[in-house]
Amino acid sequence: MLLVEDSPSDRLMTELALKESGVPHVLHSVEYGTDTLRFLRRERPFEEVPRPDLILLDLNLPGMDGRTLLRRVKADPELRSIPIVILTTSESPSDVQSTYATHANCYLRKPTDYDAFVAMISLTMRFWCGTIVPPGSPVPLAGQPAAPSARRRLLLVEDSASDALLFRDALGGDHTAEPFEVVHVDRVTAALAELERQAYDAIVSDLSLPDAKGVESIRLLASVAADAPIIVLTGSYAEVGEAALSAGADDFLPKNDLNGRRLGRILRHAIRRKQLQSEELQMQRVQTVGRLASSVAHDMNNLLAAIRLTAEVLPQTAPDTEALTIEILSNVERGRALTRQLLAFGRRSESQRRRCEVNSVVRSAASMLSRLLRRDVELDVDPTSEFTGVLADEHQLEQTVINLGLNANDAMQSGGRLTLTTRVVTLTDEAGMGYTPVLNAGRYVCIEVADTGTGIPLEVLPQIFEPFFTTKAEHEGTGLGLATVRDIALMHGGAVSVANRDTGGAVFTVLLPMRGTPLSVLAQPLPGGAPAVAPPLPGGAPAVARPKRLRVQPQARLLIAEDDAAVSGALNRVLAAHGFTVHSTSSADAAWDAWQEFPGSFDALVTDLLMPGEMPISELVERIRAERPGFPIVYCSGFAGTSNEETLGLQEGVNFVAKPFRTEALLAVLAHQIGKAAAFEASADTD
């Protein structure tokens, strides 16, 4: 090992910590960057010293600092494969970013506590010297037997039998490396056929092959094995190595410099880098889904709002259409649930959490599932008789049960039984350690979704909750259902696990922390007396209450700011039917123009949060409130997760209604705001 450190005290502390790590090593130390380069190049006075297997590098060195030294070492073809661990007191984000950008292998900040420093150095030594499994390796889910350790597959593309033998011998000489199953082919065409047949964890290829076209072979190999790193074997760094990197290779290694430790290290690091790249791409896809979800949900909720408002006014004009209205509104509720699922996964809406009974949520989800399951799948619901109160978003919990139920349905292609069970469990500290994330000791409400299907292969279990992972055929599944379940459980302070049943099939378990005591009435009233949740009708259809007529002052006039023509038209009809006079505009700019054109004419403003135009809603509100403090304003939107939410102080049921909203919910919030404004003006007059 080589320690590059100019501070005598830090050098001594590092030497002592290295001794306490218990990993056998030979340590050399230098103080300057220029001496480091001479040491690594075996120049005087370091001709007899072997090159190190690991470099510990401080950043703040006299003369040539550690940042410059890092770049020089990683730019040298003969030195670049030596891993460099940055060991520094710097917490600067720019240092972290720049050192990793110039190919540092690890960045560690020196802790001030010596024991913590020893622990960090010990872990570093054991990791980089290959005596332990690297951090971040998959951990079996709670309750699952550990899958047998699989040998990584390595494809060697080499036409020289002697060079292939040399490679195998060098790989076998690295006793610290994980085992590789090596498959040897001698042509690029044979390699392409092999990659089409099965997946490989890494590809090592010579480029001087009978059917090779130089670095173009790298592009061919990468085209059929995008997830596997490609390492080039070459006889010349200068002529081939850099060109190979430019063509897409992940690393290169000279044939005359093969040794077990170096080869094993390059393979492990190349595989890990490729995994990190894949994880980054996966995260970008998730973020894209989040943005798409917000856009789709906003447009969908506008459409559903127009349908709901129009449907709710129908019974007042034609009573014989009430049955049709109920059917329309039931379908609106299903569409609303779908948009909530999109928003929950895209992380763009805040949870609408309140005290609720899990038993009630499971029964509601079962009612919808009964219409979605295969005809040869039987559905059983077995709720506990105990209190199952939690603090949660009912729609998200319902979606959790539905997602798990549909997943089970797909696993029972020949029919079977789906069982939804609830129970209350008490976790100890030790039991809570078995979940990811770790759960605190306490009482939890447990939802179990069990099926009699085919079960889940052990090799699939570690990935089952990952976004976009699916075992279904293309176009048959997105891989988002179980990932959404996991995210919802985590957002509610719980966890989800899966296990195969001894009798066949699988069981998913969702744990949620218990909250509160039994409630006699679960529905929370909105201002004005409108219930937030209507009781269900027989058969599971949502109840459709005939909106009560709101008592308003004669000729109360509303200013509407809504850019969606369908929603605006529906609002006009509904509010006119309840005695309001409505003036509609399609942007904040147009609303402000109307406010100035008809000064003192409006009694309240109803506005969407997202509209075209130069003026944001927050500025419109600020201008209106500057002229009339306390003026009643009701906000509405397809989702609450906007940049205006904190600025405007949005509160569901107080000054905000989420689309698609019931007429009664809008009227209740409107009545509350008008009453609040009247009280404000009365107190101002008294003052």
Residue 282 in any domain: the answer is no
Same domain, 182 and 327: no
Domain boundary at 468, 496, 515, which? 515
pLDDT of residue 457: 85
Residues in a beta bridge with 306: none
Residue 266 in any domain: the answer is no
Angstrom CA distances, 536 to 326, 330, 422, stand at 12, 11, 21
Burial tier of 46 (Cβ tally within 10 Å: 0-12, 13-18, 19+): middle
Residue 397 in any domain: the answer is yes
Same domain, 72 and 111: yes
Same domain, 676 and 546: yes
Residue 102 in any domain: the answer is yes
Same domain, 477 and 503: yes
Domain boundary at 515, 545, 563, which? 515
Residue 25 in any domain: the answer is yes
Q: Show the tokens assigned to 575.
A: 């509010």
For residue 320, name the pLDDT band (cuts at 50, 70, 90). Answer: low
Same domain, 318 and 381: no
C-alpha 460/C-alpha 648 separation (Å) is 46
Same domain, 607 and 647: yes
For residue 482, name the pLDDT band (cuts at 50, 70, 90). Answer: confident
DSSP 59: S
pLDDT of residue 340: 63
For residue 288, name the pLDDT band (cuts at 50, 70, 90). Answer: low
For residue 144, name the pLDDT band (cuts at 50, 70, 90). Answer: very low
pLDDT of residue 542: 38
Q: Is the pLDDT of residue 206 over 80?
A: yes
Report the pLDDT averaged over residues 558-578. 87
Same domain, 488 and 581: no
pLDDT of residue 570: 83
**Which is nearest to 656 in space by CA: 607, 592, 587, 604?**
607
Same domain, 506 and 553: no
Return the CATH number at 367: 3.30.565.10
Return the CATH number at 38: 3.40.50.2300
Select the more confidently predicted residue: 591 or 406: 591
How many domains does the chain contain in total? 4
Q: Is the pLDDT of residue 3 over 90?
A: yes
pLDDT of residue 91: 78
pLDDT tens readout for residues 491-518? 788 899 999 988 889 999 999 999 854 4
CB within 8 A of 329, min separation 6: which ones?
A: 308, 311, 312, 542, 544
Q: Return mean pLDDT, the chain.
A: 77
**What are the percentages of helix, strand and coil residues in the chain, rounded to 5?**
45, 15, 40
Residue 269 in any domain: the answer is no
Select the more confidently predicted residue: 363 or 523: 363
Residue 139 in any domain: the answer is no
Same domain, 548 and 681: yes
Domain boundary at 234, 258, 282, which? 258
616-620-622 Cα angle (round to 5): 115
State the SS3 of 145-199. CCCCCCCEEEEEECCCHHHHHHHHHHHHCCCCCCCEEEEEECCHHHHHHHHHHCC
Angstrom CA distances, 592 to 581, 616, 618, stand at 18, 11, 12
Select the more confidently predicted residue: 403 or 149: 403
Burial tier of 384 (Cβ tally within 10 Å: 0-12, 13-18, 19+): middle
For residue 551, name the pLDDT band (cuts at 50, 70, 90). Answer: very low
Residue 276 in any domain: the answer is no
Contact 356, 390 (CB under 8 A): yes
Residues in a beta bridge with 84: 55
Which range of residues forms the domain containing residue 491?
353-515
Contact 673, 604 (CB under 8 A): yes
Q: What number of residues does the chain have? A: 687
Q: Is the pTM of this model over 0.85?
A: no
583-587-591 Cα angle (round to 5): 45
Same domain, 438 and 471: yes
Same domain, 551 and 438: no
pLDDT tens readout for residues 208-259? 888 877 777 887 887 777 678 898 887 665 567 767 776 678 788 777 766 6
DSSP 652: B
Q: Show the tokens assigned to 396.
A: 């998200």
Percent of the chain beyond pLDDT 70? 74
Same domain, 363 and 330: no
pLDDT of residue 348: 40
pLDDT of residue 338: 60
